[in-house]
Structure 1
Amino acid sequence: MKNKFINIDETLDDLQLNNIFIIQKKDAFRFGVDAVLLANFVKDKRNAKVIDLCTGTGIIPFILSQKTKVSDITGIEIQEEMVDMASRSVLFNRLEGKIRFINHDLRDIKFVKGLEKVDIVTVNPPYKLKGSGIINSNDKNAIARHEICCTLEDVVKASKVLLTHNGKFYMIHRPDRLVDIMCIMRKYKIEPKFITMIYPNVKKAPNMVLVEGQNNGGKFLRWGEPIYIHSLDGSYTDQIEKIYGRN
């Protein structure tokens, strides 16, 4: 059965979550702890509809399908190869009635406006500002990490179009972009409501930030308990073990 779904340059990886597996390239961008943190950050409600932007191979939709009570999840991704892998993962896991993937550019607002509005938008976008840093020679990795195919503003603009009146927006990004994140969210009337900082360990500065916003929400911001990825001995903290469902 495995050989029917995966190609020679791919792996079939166990998410250790209700026997769900995901197909990924051996030598291209692979999901990390940031995607798992984002999926865990979502406050779902029964029968909610979700769109995951910049979905890649679909890690966030697959986790949400198992850890929440949402009814319908759509992933949107510009890279056709990623969507092909994600769609085969749907078939492998027999989740055709719950998850689907669309190969399209989220900057195409006419297309975005044609989609049904949803209760929740999630996004783990490219973190690195366009024109900054060294661009990876592997285009697939560069697109995943740098604002080549979409910017932070593109992501928020598309989310605004997609969300119902009080719909929720969930994103993971870098703390150095926090001012940009707040300003752009306010520009599109997605009010920042809850922020959680992610630290590599207790002795290092935060390197990721989780942001929850509400479409047309009131101006009130809360801060969540910090999340620490590693203990000083290099092992995962109890917080992370709990998120991964291992304690």
Structure 2
Amino acid sequence: MCGELLRNDETLDDLQLKGICVIQKKNAFRFGVDAVLLANFAKIKKGARVMDLCSGTGIIPFILAGKTDAEYIAGLELQEEMVDMAIRSIKFNKLQDRMEFINRDLNDIKFLKNLPRFDVLTVNPPYKLKNSGIININDKNAIARHEIFCTLEDVIKATKAVLKDNGRMYMIHRPDRLADIICTMRQYKIEPKLIRMVQPNFKKAPNMVLIEGQNNGGAFLKWEAPLYIYNVEGGYTEEIHRIYGRQKSEE
């Protein structure tokens, strides 16, 4: 079965989570720690319907399929090649009854509003502004990192279109965009509820931020203690080991 689903320029990567594997390109954009942290940050109740925007090859939906009792998980992705890999990963993992990937532009608000509403939305969007550096719009890595086909406001607008009333949004982004994130969320009545900074170690400034929002929620914002990736010895912290579901000896 693996030979039938895998192309020559692809790898099948084991998530070490209930035997789930994902198909990725050998020399293209591959998932990193940010996707893993976001999937762990999201709170998913049993029987929930979950949408993942900017889904790529589906790493966040596949982690959520392994870690949660969500009833249905959908990924929305613009790049057809990414969706094709994600669909083949569904077949490999035999998750057709719980998962689906949709090849659409998140700016198609009319399409999104016609979907059944979701309890939870996750998104690991492009971080960098479109005008930040030289960009090749045909470069798949650039599309994943720069706001070429969608802006932060586009992401929030799409979130508003698919979430149930009081549904929750979970996003990972860069701390330098935090003011933009909060202002845009409030513009679309998605109230910031929880923020957690992610730091490489306790001596360095945050380089990622996790944020939870509630659709039409009341104004009350909490901060969690920072999440540190590395300890003073340079190895992963205990929390990162727990998130990855492994023992220290496996590092």
TM-score bracket, shorter-length normalisation: over 0.9
Cα deviation code 1:137-176 (max 9, x no counterpart) = 8610010000001000000000001011100000000000
Check if 1:241 corresponds to 2:235: no
1:154: which partner in 2?
154
**Counterpart amino acid of residue 205 in structure 2:** A
Gapped regions of structure 2 (runs ≥ 5): none
1:3: which partner in 2?
3
Segments of 4+ moved more than 6 angstroms: none
1:24: which partner in 2?
24
Question: What secondary structure does 1:176 align onto?
Answer: helix
Bigger shift: residues 112-121 or 126-135 = 126-135
Deviation at 1:134, TM superposition (A): 3.4
Question: What secondary structure does 1:112 align onto?
Answer: helix
Does structure 1 retain, via aligned residues, the 8 Å contact 2:195–2:222? Answer: yes
Check if 1:230 corresponds to 2:230: yes
Q: TM-score, normalised by structure 1?
A: 0.98
Q: Distance in 2 between matches of 1:134 and 1:37?
A: 29
2:101: which partner in 1?
101
Q: TM-score, normalised by structure 2?
A: 0.96
Counterpart mapping for 1:77-156 below 5 A: 77-135=77-135, 139-156=139-156
Q: Distance in 1 between matches of 2:96 and 2:8?
A: 24
Does structure 1 retain, via aligned residues, the 8 Å contact 2:196–2:226? Answer: yes
**Counterpart amino acid of residue 2 in structure 2:** K
Q: Distance in 2 between matches of 1:102 and 1:34?
A: 22
Cα deviation code 1:99-148 (max 9, x no counterpart) = 11000000011111111110001000000011112326861001000000
Deviation at 1:44, TM superposition (A): 1.1
1:196: which partner in 2?
196
Q: Distance in 2 between matches of 1:126 and 1:173?
A: 8
Gapped regions of structure 1 (runs ≥ 5): none
Q: Distance in 1 between matches of 2:136 and 2:227?
A: 29
Check if 1:12 corresponds to 2:12: yes
Q: Distance in 2 between matches of 1:85 and 1:125?
A: 19
Question: What secondary structure does 2:218 align onto?
Answer: coil
Question: What secondary structure does 1:183 align onto?
Answer: helix
Aligned CA-pair RMSD: 1.0
Cα deviation code 1:77-104 (max 9, x no counterpart) = 0000000000000000000000110000
Deviation at 1:232, TM superposition (A): 2.9
Q: Distance in 1 between matches of 2:225 and 2:68?
A: 21
Does structure 1 retain, via aligned residues, the 8 Å contact 2:137–2:148? Answer: no
Bigger shift: residues 104-113 or 136-145 = 136-145
Matched-pair identity in %:
67
Q: Distance in 2 between matches of 1:158 and 1:132?
A: 23
Check if 1:51 corresponds to 2:51: yes
Deviation at 1:2, TM superposition (A): 1.6
**Counterpart amino acid of residue 230 in structure 2:** H
Q: Distance in 1 between matches of 2:112 and 2:82?
A: 19
Q: Distance in 2 between matches of 1:236 and 1:18?
A: 22
**Counterpart amino acid of residue 144 in structure 2:** A
2:40: which partner in 1?
40
Q: Distance in 2 between matches of 1:200 and 1:136?
A: 29
